[in-house]
Amino acid sequence: MANIKQQIKRVRTNEKARLANASFKSGLKTSVKAVLASTNKEEATALLAVAYKKLDKAQAKGFVHKNLVSRKKSQLASYVNSLN
């Protein structure tokens, strides 16, 4: 553990941020899986909107790369369109 007061504070702050980031990423993965798990087109469409919002927010905050967001959106849209 650091002896410098500012570094001790920084360690605490980094840990809080790490936990918040992990929670956000977990929620993002859950929303993507929810879309893929749904078999009803109307339900999947509603879940798709939530997943899109979370993906866009993750990209804006810098949690994930923009190409990952683009790829996931494409995959999810393709899945939802394939439902009857």
- pLDDT for 31 beyond 90: yes
Per the structure, the complete domain to which residue 78 belongs is given by 5-82
Return mean pLDDT, the chain. 95
Query: What is the domain count for the chain?
Result: 1
Distance from C-alpha of 53 to C-alpha of 9, rounded to nearest angstrom: 33
Tokens of 29: 């993965």
Task: Express the helix, strand and coil content of the chain in percent, nearest 5 each.
Answer: 85, 0, 15
- pLDDT for 84 beyond 90: no
Give the largest CA-CA distance in the chain. Answer: 62
Mean pLDDT computed over 23-40:
96
Please choose, from the candidates 78, 81, 77, the residue with its C-alpha nearest in 3D space to the C-alpha of residue 48: 77
- The CATH number of the domain holding residue 31 is 1.20.58.110
C-beta separation of 56 from 83 below 8 A: no
- pLDDT for 1 beyond 80: no
